[in-house]
Amino acid sequence: MANKDKFVSVILPAYNSGKYIKSCIDSILNQSYENFELIIVDDGSIDDTQEIISDYVDKKIKYIYQNNKGVSSARNTGIKNASGELVTFIDADDMMSKYQLEIMAKYFCDGVDMVMCRYHRFSKMEELADKSCDQRMEEDDVSNISRADASKLIHLGSSYAGYVWNKMYRMNKISELFFADKGNGMAFREDIAMCEDLLFNSIYIDSCDNICVLNKKLYYYFENKDGISSGGYSSKLHTQITAYRNIFDIYQKNKSEYVEIISLLKENVLKFSIDHINRMVIGEKINLAEVREYKAFIRENKDLQLTNNILNSKDKFLIGILMNSPFAVYKLIYKLWKKIK
């Protein structure tokens, strides 16, 4: 079994998080595992986030303030200031179960490059009353898997997903992968606002030999129904296709290992391409440059349009109109379809 005393850096990006951050910090400081530091990177908050954090006088906490640059920049700043042998992340509106760090650090045996756990979802604090976790782990709760299987878990709708906050990483591996150039690199792409964590995980997992998976819900994820992905059109949505193109490049290097994943991910991109275009039409926020890039991706993967399992008949019909008609015609047909519906 692994040395239980490995030093862990917990990185917490915060932006205008005053409504939630106290519960988040408390859940970390109340961990059963004591050998950790908490790095809070305040990404230019203008609410009472800084005031709330200042109420905590604890040698475990490092507080860093920076101008607003986004969550990827905040995570990169946290990594550059981390001292831990292991590193994990938490979002400011989420919480950790009391035993999360203890359990995850425990299973970082020699040869293990990454540990991931499952998570609870909640939208109100009172929903957490019956969602507890103890430190007991049964043999059936722990398994070691290959990078190909781990990649399937983060991409294909599993209860582990592609987030970074339910995973623990080796700091030396992150340094080798992303900061080999005298520390001037970045682990999280700061030009990508959607799926930046999925891209990070794809790169990291591809470098792993052994991943430990815990079949236990150790993390509490707050479902924010006002997030980018649940609303109307935003230009940030478009950065998702950049993330996926980079992910495809990673997997193409070992194509035989990832062939199933590549095909399924391309189907996902077809789905969100037509979805994003439809959001533009409904929101009257047409960005023709983005439309052209979506069309280029659809054209590159023409063979998937009729054979994939994700697009329904309506989406396939709309893609046909999109690719074979002026965009003005597409807008008209989609709006008429919405009215009929």
The Cα–Cα gap between 10 and 18 comes to 19
User: Would you give per-residue pLDDT tens digits along the chain (341 residues)?
Assistant: 445 589 999 999 999 999 999 999 999 999 999 999 999 999 999 999 999 999 998 889 999 999 999 999 999 999 999 999 999 999 999 999 999 999 999 999 888 999 999 999 887 665 565 566 666 777 778 999 999 999 999 998 778 999 999 999 999 999 999 987 755 789 999 999 999 999 999 999 999 999 999 999 999 998 875 554 555 777 888 899 899 999 999 998 888 888 888 888 888 888 888 888 998 898 888 899 999 999 998 888 877 665 666 778 888 888 889 999 999 999 999 888 887 76
Sequence-distant (6+) residues with CB within 8 A of 18 are: 45, 47, 48, 49, 51, 52
The Cα–Cα gap between 122 and 128 comes to 7
Task: Provide the 10 A C-beta neighbour count for residue 148.
Answer: 17
Sequence-distant (6+) residues with CB within 8 A of 227 are: none
The Cα–Cα gap between 150 and 156 comes to 10
Please give the distance of CA 94 from its chain centroid, rounded to a whole number.
14
90, 115, 147, 318, 341 from 76: Cα distances, Å:
13, 20, 24, 40, 45
Q: Which CATH number fits domain 8-224: 3.30.200.20, 3.30.1370.10, 3.90.550.10, 3.40.190.10?
A: 3.90.550.10
The Cα–Cα gap between 88 and 82 comes to 10
Single-letter amino acid code for the residue at 160: Y
SS3 assignment, position 281? helix
pTM beyond cutoff 0.75 = yes
Q: Check if the beta carbon of residue 86 is closer than 8 Å to that of residue 8.
A: yes
Angle at which helices 196-206 and 147-155 cross, to 10°: 170
The Cα–Cα gap between 338 and 321 comes to 15
62, 92, 255, 269, 290 from 239: Cα distances, Å:
31, 23, 24, 12, 10
Give residue limits of the domains in the chain.
Answer: 8-224, 261-340
Can you read off the two tokens belonging to residue 123? 């939208």
